[in-house]
Homo-oligomer: A and B are copies of this chain.
């Protein structure tokens, strides 16, 4: 079932640079979709370091279990991603399927299975036939290329209505390092992690422990700060691969190395751009919404309040209706269970103060707020008035489109 492209889709896609030491191919394995690519193979130069964060779901997919085990090794030679089947809740068959797929990939690129990383996205609960990959991966290994990045971004899509890519460069030791990232995700999106897959590739020489620390640090304000529908996937996977092939750059092996900060900032840019694209492709989304919480007792408390607001169906439907319904925002703050004092709350839509000291602002101008709500990038800011804690969560509105995508398939 094809859904209309999100009105928030980008007008054009960035041309990402080739990443030295990274080559990829896509193919049609016929897992579920017809007439589109559904499998991605990426190969990495020897000694490529890898880091990642995986879903905190108590019911993770077989591929997530596999990656968690292999991340301990710190090096990667291959990544295989398929769309159309999540290989989640598939029991022993799922583990077998993962083992077989990794074996095929290892043979195709010439490495050990422990250096193969896997991710699957799509239907949960259906066995994934690893036989679909036999032959396909070997053929793909024979036609690896380093461009264009649009192809891998497309091959991993499920209910996404547009491919998601972002890149960045940084200057390290007087040389340019490159980062290229892709992601998929549209529904079953909530922090820890968003339901999504994202893969980031760089030629910077970053040791696995440093890469891991940087990914963990920057995922907090990027992929873990987005929510579409509060539902956390069984398959969330963010992996970062660093080939070290950038010329003239000495390895970064210590998180205290100032160059780690420089690289981390560029990495954070890529993660943020990808995460925002996931929100902008949120199932049925017509508006991107930024929820800022200020003045909470701590940053953690602010984050929980922000998530409560961003996850509230009543807030999200009000925004879909272009209604600056601050009453629902108050409700969502109140239900978060975090310290809040009704009579100190202030609420702004964009720059417009709608409520303060626990009641409607004297300056409230309904016409101005109504005009603001017609925009497709909205910001809701709540001042809690108790401390210095702050956090931001990014979400989208809740529309008929979400119901149509997820519920309109009576059989």
Q: How far is the CA of A86 from the CA of B314 in the complex (A)?
A: 16
Q: Which residue of B lies closest to A332 (CB)?
A: B231
Within 8 A of B (CB), among A365-411: 370, 397-400, 402-404, 406-411
Q: Which residue of B lies closest to A356 (CB)?
A: B91
The verdict on A158 contacting chain B, using a C-beta distance below 8 Å, is no
The verdict on A99 contacting chain B, using a C-beta distance below 8 Å, is no
Q: Which residues of B contact A58 (CB under 8 A)?
A: 333-342
Q: Which residues of B contact A90 (CB under 8 A)?
A: 358-359
- Are A59 and B187 closer than 8 Å at their CB atoms? no
The verdict on A299 contacting chain B, using a C-beta distance below 8 Å, is no
A interface, over-half SS? loop
The verdict on A89 contacting chain B, using a C-beta distance below 8 Å, is yes
The verdict on A213 contacting chain B, using a C-beta distance below 8 Å, is no
Q: Which residues of B contact A332 (CB under 8 A)?
A: 231
- Are A321 and B409 closer than 8 Å at their CB atoms? yes
**Given known contacts A89-B342, A321-B406, A409-B321, is B398 in contact with A330 (CB within 8 Å)?**
no
- Are B409 and A323 closer than 8 Å at their CB atoms? yes
Q: How far is the CA of A360 from the CA of B93 in the complex (A)?
A: 11
- Are A334 and B407 closer than 8 Å at their CB atoms? no
- Are B359 and A230 closer than 8 Å at their CB atoms? no
Q: Which residue of B lies closest to A125 (CB)?
A: B327
Q: How far is the CA of A193 from the CA of B264 in the complex (A)?
A: 44
**Chain A to chain B contacts (Cβ below 8 Å), 28 pairs:** A57-B334, A59-B345, A89-B345, A89-B358, A90-B358, A91-B359, A93-B359, A124-B326, A125-B326, A230-B311, A231-B312, A231-B314, A231-B328, A232-B331, A234-B334, A313-B398, A317-B403, A317-B407, A318-B406, A321-B407, A321-B408, A321-B410, A322-B410, A323-B407, A397-B407, A400-B403, A400-B404, A403-B403
A residues touching B (Cβ–Cβ < 8 Å)?
55-60, 86, 88-94, 123-127, 187-188, 190, 229-234, 311-314, 317-318, 320-323, 326-328, 330-343, 345, 355, 357-360, 370, 397-400, 402-404, 406-411
